[in-house]
Amino acid sequence: MSRCLIVFFSQGGTTKRVAQAVSKGLSAHGHEVDLHDLSDGPPPDHGRYDVLGIGCPAHYYRPAIIVCDYLATLSGLSGKPVFTFVLYAAYVGDAGNVVRGALEAKGGNELGYARFRGAGRFLGYLRHGYQFSPADPSSDAIAEAERFGGDLAERLAGSTHVPAAHDPSPPAVYRLERFLTSRFFIRQVYSRLFRVDRRSDLLAGDVVDVLAVHGLQHPERGEGSGDPSRAGGPQERADDRGATSRAERVGATAAAAVLRPRSCNE
Ligand SMILES: Cc1cc2nc3c(=O)[nH]c(=O)nc-3n(C[C@H](O)[C@H](O)[C@H](O)COP(=O)(O)O)c2cc1C
């Protein structure tokens, strides 16, 4: 029996549901699995576990920023079995490659890699008060994730496997989009040009509830920021204390939804 830690990030819930299914597949073979959502803070030390899994949504053809930050802190994998799964809507790009490359560079021994169709991101959903397709992932994807967990367990028991090929790298136009949604751009450009529009109807909807790591506050409920002193404040600007890093995590989708251009006299 191995002790496994699955560290994941899930803005809309699909990666979480897949993580739970992978965990079920591993548990069915007698392994003990702990799940940790990066939105809840730093995960436990992976040194206490025999196996480390990373679950991550594709955000602009790369892993979500919070997962990249976690990967950067990782050390001491030397030979530890690791696995990766990535959720995506249409085109995964380098998301899986980046996670797998980081785990490999830190000495992890890859046990498996899988991609799963998650939620489609379609602005029309906003009319219904949500940003993601709520029925995803499909029951097929969940069953597939459970099987993936079972395959991992068999590999842990010694069965051989051919490592999955890396995904093809995205063409230049995707890399441009990646740059335009990079942390640098968000910090240097969007944070200077936009502010949160607290009057926006969108803020009153479920969109706020699914923002990455619940980074922005709901205007009436004042929840979600992690900084109670800011709860329900009249204005939250992207360059306020602490808000820049939250804005970074929120990314450009959320920016499009809740940020409005600064007026000239602001
Ligand atoms: C900011 C953002 C960027 C995204 N970028 C991509 C992408 O590059 N390729 C893709 O196929 N899906 C992309 N998606 C869709 C997500 O990968 C997909 O909805 C996934 O299931 C979300 O996982 P979650 O529900 O755990 O947050 C993006 C979603 C968001 C919110």
Give this prediction's pTM.
0.78
Instruction: List the beta bridge partners of residue 51.
Output: 4
Among candidates 1, 96, 16, which has minimal Cα distance to 49?
A: 1
Residues of the chain with CATH 3.40.50.360: 3-170
Task: Name the pairing type of β-strands 194-196 and 32-37.
Answer: unpaired
Å from CA of 128 to ligand 1 middle: 19
Residue 44: burial class (beta carbons within 10 Å; 0-12, 13-18, 19+) = exposed
pLDDT digits (tens, 9 = 90+) for 77-103: 999 999 999 999 889 999 999 999 999
pLDDT number for residue 226 = 35
pLDDT digits (tens, 9 = 90+) for 125-152: 666 666 667 678 999 999 999 999 999 9
Is the distance from the beta carbon of residue 61 to the nearest atom of ligand 1 less than 6 Å?
yes
Written as six digits, the tokens of 155 are 């590999």
Is the distance from the beta carbon of residue 137 to the nearest atom of ligand 1 less than 6 Å?
no
Instruction: Using the atom order of ligand 1, give the atom closest to the CA of residue 116.
Output: 21
For the segment(s) 3-170, the CATH number from 3.40.50.360, 3.40.50.300, 3.40.718.10, 3.40.50.970 is 3.40.50.360
pLDDT digits (tens, 9 = 90+) for 142-201: 999 999 999 999 999 998 889 999 999 999 988 888 888 888 888 888 878 876 665 555
Question: What separation, in Å, do the N-terminal and C-terminal C-alpha atoms of the chain show?
Answer: 60
3-state secondary structure of 113: strand
Instruction: Using the atom order of ligand 1, give the atom closest to the CA of residue 16.
Output: 26
Instruction: Using the atom order of ligand 1, give the atom closest to the CA of residue 90.
Output: 11
